[in-house]
């Protein structure tokens, strides 16, 4: 059973809210805006003491209050390079040309997080594990494929 990261309260039937937001709203005497987050100063999200809560702007301001590291999404430092044509592949752990990535309009840069080659290898492993027929492009040159 996964442990809960936050404590929730029910304010309407079938409607739960984070207790920390409710406490801050009572302290301020107003509802929090969508762009406002509640930061737990000591890092313990179960400690909803009013002295431990701070209202911050969602995104970059909140991110600055957390230590940067591998598991602190969204505060993970992005790998960058001076060449705008190169993009970091999260699976290969190196830079690849932009054209080696599928498009993904939901991501911050409009590209998938892994290159086409890694995606095709992973997809083929998945198909094998499920007993799905393999791709007709099994023996094709992966670098030459267009999406």
Average pLDDT, consecutive stretches of 10 residues, N- to C-terminus, the chain (147 residues): 73 85 92 87 85 82 63 48 80 87 80 87 87 62 49
Q: Which ranges in 9-59 belong to alpha helices (H)?
A: 19-28
At a CB cut-off of 8 Å and minimum separation 6, what does 79 contact? 88, 95
**Predicted local confidence at residue 1, as pLDDT:** 43
**Predicted local confidence at residue 47, as pLDDT:** 87
**Predicted local confidence at residue 107, as pLDDT:** 73
CA gap 104, 110 in Å, rounded: 5
Q: Rounded to an integer, what is the distance from CA 23 to the centroid of its chain?
A: 26
**Helix or strand or coil: residue 52?**
helix
Residue 100: CB atoms within 10 A of its CB come to 23
| Cβ-contact 18, 36 below 8 angstroms | no
Helix then strand count (H, E) for the chain reads 3, 8
**Predicted local confidence at residue 23, as pLDDT:** 93
pTM over 0.85: no
Domain ranges of the chain: 8-64, 86-144
**Predicted local confidence at residue 60, as pLDDT:** 66
**Predicted local confidence at residue 30, as pLDDT:** 92
């Amino acid at each position: 059973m996964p442990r809960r990261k936050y404590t929730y309260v029910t304010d309407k039937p079938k409607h739960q809210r984070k207790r920390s937001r409710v406490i801050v709203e009572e302290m301020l005497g107003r509802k929090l805006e969508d762009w406002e987050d509640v930061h737990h100063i000591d890092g313990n999200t179960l400690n909803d003491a009013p002295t431990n809560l701070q209202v911050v702007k969602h995104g970059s301001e909140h991110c600055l209050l957390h230590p940067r590291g591998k598991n602190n999404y969204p505060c993970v430092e992005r790998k960058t390079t001076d060449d705008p044509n190169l993009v970091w592949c999260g699976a290969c752990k190196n830079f690849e040309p932009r054209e080696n990535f599928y498009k993904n309009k939901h991501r911050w840069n409009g590209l998938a997080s892994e290159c086409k080659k890694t995606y095709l290898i992973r997809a083929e492993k998945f198909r094998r594990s499920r007993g799905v027929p393999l791709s007709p492009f099994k023996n094709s040159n992966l670098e030459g494929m267009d999406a």
